[in-house]
Structure 1
Amino acid sequence: MVEEELTWKEPVQRVQALAEKGLKEVPPSYIRPVSERPCLDKQIHLGDDGSIPVIDFSGLEDHRREDTMDQISRACEEWGFFQLINHCVPVPVMDRTVAAAREFFDLPLEEKQVYANKPWSLVGYGSRIGVTEGAILDWGDYFLHYLWPLDKRDVDQEWPRKPASYVETLDEYTHALHNLCSRLLEALSESLGLRKDYIGEIFGWPDTNLVLRINYYPPCPSPDLTLGVGSHSDGGVITFLLHDNVPGLQVRKGDRWLLLEPIPNAIVVNIADQLQILSNGRFKSVEHRVAVNKDTVRMSLATFCNPDVDTIIAPAEDLVNDDNPALYRAMTYGEFLESLCRDGLKGKDYVESFRR
């Protein structure tokens, strides 16, 4: 991507700063069309009927392994989302990570602005995705940086220097999450009937990129008119979501938007576009979005497991035959990122554009 091709065509406004002014109305640039509004009074809660998968990851280590593998397969095929419990990421580490992220957003604006991202890069402190003039904006700010591999982490330039505990805390969280990701990729490979290192090998494990996006959604005067993040599916392999137990994540199930009720100490996992392509559509990368609320800050930490930009993704050969032809053409991950930086989030349109 030629950096000079992308520029901010209008000033970038920090949503946290807007909210702290005590606005009585949502600015027009954040108001969604009626068809995209979150319908907060009609939300159906995922988990009300026990339907969303909650998977005890420790079941892979004992007599429950076969049943746990079956649960993982069904979750990936039917929902594209599940919540992991007993995942071996220590709860104190999770708590410290969320606290460090919140402390960063509590800093004065001028200290956060040092890390402001560029139009051609999602890395840094940001408030919008895409450079399209007049786009409908999300009611939220974010901070994004690499966690892994170590040679891509620019701790001095890209990681916050405040709070003082940030680097040490995030390093500890990174290593715990890397271990979880390794084990989950193996389980996902096996559930597709592939050798256990297949997915990891395709996506460059153990040096596959882990990229953290900290999301900050401030209170909103009219949460029924806007969204913290618009409808999209994630572009990478899988995503791990750490949250502060404030509901807001909505998952698309058919023609309904369902509110996920966070389970304390669980990690939410969702399938992303590259894995949908590799599985030849067996695993589902599902649209999701974020609703905001009137009174409470909501924070979440999404870690994306992403391939390198030149990685070629196509349906796994072992999953393709005369009865199950390839549903997608080959693509590089870099093609997806170029579209994202230029055009912003577009639901499922992008991955569907690779269908044969």
Structure 2
Amino acid sequence: MENHRSRWFDVQSVPKSHIFSHEDRPGKEPVPVCRTIPIVDLGLQRLEMVRKIIEASREFGLFQVINHGMEESVIVEAIRVFKELFSMPAEEILKEANESGWVYMGSTSHGTKGGANLWRDNIKHPCHPLEECMKHWPRNPTRYREVIERYIVEIRRLSLRVLELISEGLGLEEGYLGGISQVQILTASNYPPCPDPSLTLGVLKHVDHSLITILAQGNARGLQVFKDGKWLGVEVVPNAFVVNIGSQLEIISNGKLRGAEHRVVTNQEVARTTIATFINPVPDCIIQPAEVLLTNSNPALYPPLSFREFVNANKAFGPHTDALQNGVISKISS
């Protein structure tokens, strides 16, 4: 543990390498916690769940779910195993990542626009097909594969349920979204306490490229969503998951749902460990507005494009680029 604590974040002030431009840094103005972001009880009557999810996806681009059917112990153990992993010396983590093929990014690996580094450690690995991908997951902690396999199986079940409720709310045929989706990527992040959170960020503002992203946000606030020209804090709800609407679902809904523009800030008091799972389309799937949503008065706003092409377009323009927000992939002009 001592090796972990003595790394880059054990400092009295934020290094220049981690200070963001005035445009991007959070600043000292407090960001209020938004109490109106819907918390959807998945034990409610079905029509009520669908209504709340669609309204939240239109207004905020995200919502939280409770009573989702995943045992709390599954979430707790997954968070715990990532804390154990991030407590290992960085050299050990990096060595195993290089040998196994998954990605570890320490703080100095996160090059962003302007050159500032993110205030986090992060690992990322694929999850589909599960049995094949597991062979390349971390071997330490020794129970990592067992614990995270169980977590991913439960996330797949939850994602299918949420996508089916969204499909129903949009008027799509049964299985429309579930049939093209995979739990493709897991990324876990450790955000250590920061001496001055006003100067740096855990994650720059962006919109996920997924259909949806399912986030276990740990024990401390840090996620913020951009709405109506201002940032709003997302509260931490015990045993809940945050569901972000991604750009692919914004396209399929022909703009009816919005991708959540969000960022992650740091805090001075406690470390924060989170797990995000990206529910993506199959790579060669053509993503375009669903025909059932189109009319003469509501034509397609986006051109057809495979998910692979979409991702490659973003990569070509560098990290933290969003193809829809920044015009890499333009809406169809009317």
Task: Using structure 2 for the length normalisation, give the TM-score.
Answer: 0.90
1:9 counterpart residue number: none
2:126 counterpart residue number: 146
- Cα distance change of structure 1 residues 151 and 161 upon mapping to structure 2, 3 Å threshold: closer
| Aligned counterparts of 1:346 and 1:16: Cα–Cα separation in 2 | 33
Deviation track 1:141-199 (CA, whole Å, cap 9, x = no partner) reads: 2111122332551x233x11111211111111111111111111111111001112111
Q: Which runs of 5 or more structure 2 residues have no equivalent in the other structure?
A: none
1:95 counterpart residue number: 76
1:114 counterpart residue number: 95
Given candidates 17, 20, 26, the residue that maps to 1:29 is 17
- 1:355 lines up with 2:334 in the alignment: no
Deviation at 1:200, TM superposition (A): 2.1
Given candidates 41, 48, 53, the residue that maps to 2:38 is 53
- 1:299 lines up with 2:273 in the alignment: yes
Given candidates 77, 100, 104, the residue that maps to 1:125 is 104
Deviation track 1:73-101 (CA, whole Å, cap 9, x = no partner) reads: 10111111111000001101110010011
The one-letter code sitting in structure 1 at the alignment partner of 2:33 is H
The one-letter code sitting in structure 2 at the alignment partner of 1:55 is V
| Aligned counterparts of 1:274 and 1:117: Cα–Cα separation in 2 | 31
- 1:169 lines up with 2:143 in the alignment: no
- Cα distance change of structure 1 residues 340 and 108 upon mapping to structure 2, 3 Å threshold: farther
Q: Aligned with 1:251: secondary structure?
A: strand
Q: Percent identity?
A: 36
Given candidates 230, 234, 248, the residue that maps to 1:274 is 248
Deviation track 1:114-148 (CA, whole Å, cap 9, x = no partner) reads: 24479xxx941114788678523211121111223
| Aligned counterparts of 2:184 and 2:102: Cα–Cα separation in 1 | 13
| Aligned counterparts of 1:141 and 1:130: Cα–Cα separation in 2 | 9
The one-letter code sitting in structure 1 at the alignment partner of 2:105 is G
- 1:315 lines up with 2:300 in the alignment: no
| Aligned counterparts of 2:147 and 2:331: Cα–Cα separation in 1 | 41
Q: Aligned with 1:198: secondary structure?
A: coil
Q: Which runs of 5 or more structure 1 residues have no equivalent in the other structure?
A: 1-13
The one-letter code sitting in structure 2 at the alignment partner of 1:165 is R
| Aligned counterparts of 1:216 and 1:18: Cα–Cα separation in 2 | 13
Please identify, of 218-227 and 144-153, the stretch whose mean Cα deviation from structure 2 is larger.
144-153
| Aligned counterparts of 2:156 and 2:147: Cα–Cα separation in 1 | 14
- Cα distance change of structure 1 residues 105 and 354 upon mapping to structure 2, 3 Å threshold: same
The one-letter code sitting in structure 1 at the alignment partner of 2:319 is G
| Aligned counterparts of 1:311 and 1:123: Cα–Cα separation in 2 | 24
- 1:17 lines up with 2:44 in the alignment: no
| Aligned counterparts of 1:16 and 1:329: Cα–Cα separation in 2 | 50
1:243 counterpart residue number: 217
- Cα distance change of structure 1 residues 132 and 291 upon mapping to structure 2, 3 Å threshold: closer
| Aligned counterparts of 1:351 and 1:308: Cα–Cα separation in 2 | 23
Given candidates 52, 71, 76, the residue that maps to 2:52 is 71
- Cα distance change of structure 1 residues 274 and 321 upon mapping to structure 2, 3 Å threshold: same
**After TM superposition, which residue ranges in structure 1, 4 or more long, deviate above 6 angstroms?**
128-133
1:105 counterpart residue number: 86
- Cα distance change of structure 1 residues 190 and 270 upon mapping to structure 2, 3 Å threshold: same
